C-alpha cells in the first residue's frame, strides 16, 4: 500500500493492522502516477494490479484475473467490467460491457474501455517491457500506460463486473480543462508511436474523447461558464464525428437541450436577472 502524503490518519490505521501481507509505503504527495510507480518498484510478484483508495473489488476479482492469465501465456493483461457507486457505496449505474480481447490496441485508442485505474492485472514482464506510469500526467496516466501495454501485447477479459468505481465530487477527473489537455496528450503521443496503426481511428478517438467530456461536464454543470464549457465540448464532438448527428440524433438533441436549459437557468443568469430588478 502506498500512502501518497495523506493527512487523514491512513498511515496509523494501516500500521495498526496485524496482517503481515500488508506493507505500507509512504511518500510526500507526488500524485497517483508516482504512487503507483513506487508500488511497482517495491513489489516482488510476477503479477501486478492496482486499487485506488476510493474503489472496491468484488471478492473473486483477483482469483478470476489470475486464472485468466494462467490460462493463456500469450496474454499479458486481463481486465474486468466496472460498475459505479456513490460516496456511500450505493449503486449508481453500470459501466460498459465491451468484450474486446486479443489485439485491443485500436479499440482502446478509440475509447478507454478499461474505464479506471483499479481494474486490470498485468504481468510484471509486460511493464518491464513498456515502462511504468508517466508521472508528468496529472490524470489519465492509466489510459496512457494501458495503450502502451496494448501496443505490445494481448488482453483478456473476465466478463464480470468486478470493480466498483466510486464517483467522488471534486475528484481529479472533475478538473475538465486539465483532463482535456492530458487526454489530447495521450492521443497525440500514441499517434506519434504508431501513426500507421492508429491514423484511421484518430477522429473516432477524438469524438469519443469529447463526448466523454461533454457528459462529464454536464454532470458537474452549475454555472453559466460550466455550461458554456459543455457546449464547446459538444461542438467538438460534432466537428470530429459529424456522423454522430444522425447516428445518435436523439441523444445529441437531448444533450443540446440540457445545455441550452442550463445556460438559461444557471445561477449566473439568475443573479443577473435579479440584479435588473
Determine, yes or no, domain membership for 181: no
Are 80 and 142 part of one and the same domain? yes
> Could you tell me how far CA 32 lies from the centroid of its own chain?
12
For the chain, what is the domain count? 2
Q: 75 and 162 in one domain? A: yes
Q: Cβ(110)–Cβ(204) under 8 Å? A: yes
Q: Tens digits of per-residue pLDDT, 173-224?
A: 568 999 999 999 999 999 999 999 999 999 999 999 999 999 999 988 678 8
The reply to whether 57 and 151 lie within a common domain is yes
Q: Looking at the structure, do residues 135 and 58 belong to the same domain, yes or no?
A: yes
Whether residue 137 sits in one domain with residue 51: yes
Are 143 and 54 within one domain?
A: yes
Q: Where residue 129 sits, what CATH number does that domain have? A: 3.90.550.10
Q: Are 118 and 101 in contact (CB under 8 A)?
A: no
Domain boundary among 123, 147, 168: 168
pLDDT digits (tens, 9 = 90+) for 62-117: 999 999 999 999 999 999 999 999 999 999 999 999 999 999 999 999 999 999 99
What angle, 0 to 180 degrees and rounded to 10, lies between the N-to-C axes of helices 32-42 and 141-152?
50
Identify the domain boundary among 145, 168, 191.
168
| pLDDT, the chain, mean | 89
What mean pLDDT is predicted for residues 136-164? 96
pTM listed for this prediction: 0.88
Angle at 141 between CA 209 and CA 95, to 5 degrees: 55
Contact in structure between 92 and 188 (CB atoms under 8 Å) = no
Binned at pLDDT 50, 70 and 90, residue 276 comes out as very low
Of 15-19, 86-90, 214-218, 251-255, which range is least confident?
A: 15-19
Residue 156 pLDDT = 98
Residue 178 lies in a domain: no
pLDDT (0 to 100) of residue 267: 63
What is the DSSP secondary-structure string of 233-257? HHHHHHHH-TTHHHHTHHHHHHHHH
Containing structural domain, residue 268: 199-276
Residues 70 and 115 in one domain: yes
SS3 111: coil
For residues 51-56, give the mean pLDDT: 92
Of 99-113, 123-137, 224-238, 256-270, which range is least confident?
Answer: 256-270
Amino acid at each position: 500500500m502506498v500512502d501518497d502524503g495523506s493527512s487523514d490518519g491512513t498511515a496509523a490505521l494501516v500500521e495498526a493492522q496485524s496482517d503481515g501481507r500488508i506493507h505500507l509505503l509512504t511518500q510526500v504527495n507526488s500524485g497517483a502516477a508516482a504512487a503507483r510507480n513506487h508500488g511497482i518498484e517495491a513489489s516482488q510478484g510476477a503479477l501486478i494490479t492496482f486499487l485506488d483508495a476510493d474503489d472496491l473489488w468484488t471478492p473473486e476479482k483477483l482469483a478470476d484475473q489470475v486464472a485468466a492469465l494462467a490460462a493463456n501465456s500469450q496474454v499479458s493483461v486481463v481486465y474486468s467490467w466496472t460498475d459505479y457507486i456513490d460516496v456511500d457505496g450505493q449503486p449508481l449505474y453500470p459501466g460498459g460491457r465491451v468484450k474486446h480481447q486479443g489485439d485491443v490496441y485500436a479499440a482502446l485508442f478509440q475509447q478507454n474501455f478499461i474505464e479506471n485505474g483499479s481494474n486490470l492485472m498485468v504481468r510484471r514482464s509486460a511493464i518491464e517491457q513498456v515502462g511504468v506510469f508517466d508521472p508528468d500526467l496529472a490524470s489519465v496516466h492509466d489510459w496512457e500506460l494501458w495503450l502502451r501495454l496494448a501496443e505490445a501485447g494481448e488482453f483478456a477479459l473476465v466478463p464480470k463486473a468486478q470493480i466498483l468505481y466510486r464517483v467522488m465530487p471534486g475528484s481529479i477527473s472533475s478538473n475538465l480543462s486539465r483532463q482535456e489537455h492530458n487526454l489530447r496528450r495521450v492521443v497525440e503521443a500514441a499517434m506519434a508511436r504508431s501513426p500507421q496503426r492508429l491514423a484511421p481511428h484518430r477522429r473516432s478517438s477524438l469524438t469519443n474523447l469529447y463526448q466523454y467530456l461533454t457528459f462529464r461536464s454536464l454532470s458537474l454543470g452549475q454555472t453559466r461558464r460550466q455550461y458554456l464549457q459543455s457546449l464547446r465540448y459538444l461542438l467538438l464532438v460534432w466537428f470530429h464525428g459529424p456522423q454522430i448527428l444522425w447516428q445518435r440524433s436523439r441523444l445529441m438533441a437531448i444533450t443540446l437541450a440540457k445545455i441550452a436549459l442550463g445556460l438559461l437557468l444557471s445561477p449566473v443568469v439568475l443573479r443577473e436577472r435579479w440584479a435588473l430588478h
